[in-house]
Chain A
Amino acid sequence: DTGVSQDPRHKITKRGQNVTFRCDPISEHNRLYWYRQTLGQGPEFLTYFQNEAQLEKSRLLSDRFSAERPKGSFSTLEIQRTEQGDSAMYLCASSGPILTSGIQETQYFGPGTRLLVL
């Protein structure tokens, strides 16, 4: 499968525990995005990497959240001291270079990691 993959697909944890999710983008894509999606809502942007550099973070990304992309390939999203409000689907997407025409690049989404905090 050459699409975006995410691991694990499901995670159940107790409040206060730390969790880490992994995203493997499409291999030639240099941009990687993390989103959070709650039931009945659209995805909300969390953060974005271009290669290994984290270029933008949403104000939704509290101090308990940290994301890395150490070698410009896969990325991890860690949530420390989880809260029940963190329960959501965490989506990763990747995209290639901006087209020469400057038109919006296509973001390809992974299947998501569904987190439940008890």
Chain B
Amino acid sequence: QKEVEQDPGPLSVPEGAIVSLNCTYSNSAFQYFMWYRQYSRKGPELLMYTYSSGNKEDGRFTAQVDKSSKYISLFIRDSQPSDSATYLCAMTSRGSSGGSYIPTFGRGTSLIVHP
């Protein structure tokens, strides 16, 4: 069993729909939770990160963390065709050096928003 599980999709939705993307994890040591967006043939781009359980909102994006269930979600409201990309969840625990946080990524969910 992988430490971070994420459904690869693809998830296809019409423009304007609310999108829900999810990850589950098994490692209780994970402290920080992030969502990255990756367009085809590009590097990942950080969208949001959260530390505690609860919700965090940024524009059309809402990140939700439930540490008791080891479950995180990203909601996208009023989805646009430009949101079509792969969305990666990532979680970190402190590296052995103690100086940085090495993320463990999910495999990503491919999202397609069609006009």
Contact = CB atoms under 8 A, between A and B. Distances in A.
Interface of A: 4, 31, 33, 40-45, 48, 50, 55-56, 91, 93, 95, 98, 103-112, 114
B6 to A, nearest CB: 8
7 contacts: A42-B90, A42-B107, A45-B104, A50-B97, A98-B99, A106-B49, A112-B42
Contacts of B95: 48, 55-56
A75 B90 CA distance: 24
Interface in B27-46: 32, 34, 41-46
Interface of B: 4, 6, 8, 32, 34, 41-46, 49, 51, 88, 90, 92, 95-97, 99-108
A107 B99 contact: no
A40 B105 CA distance: 12
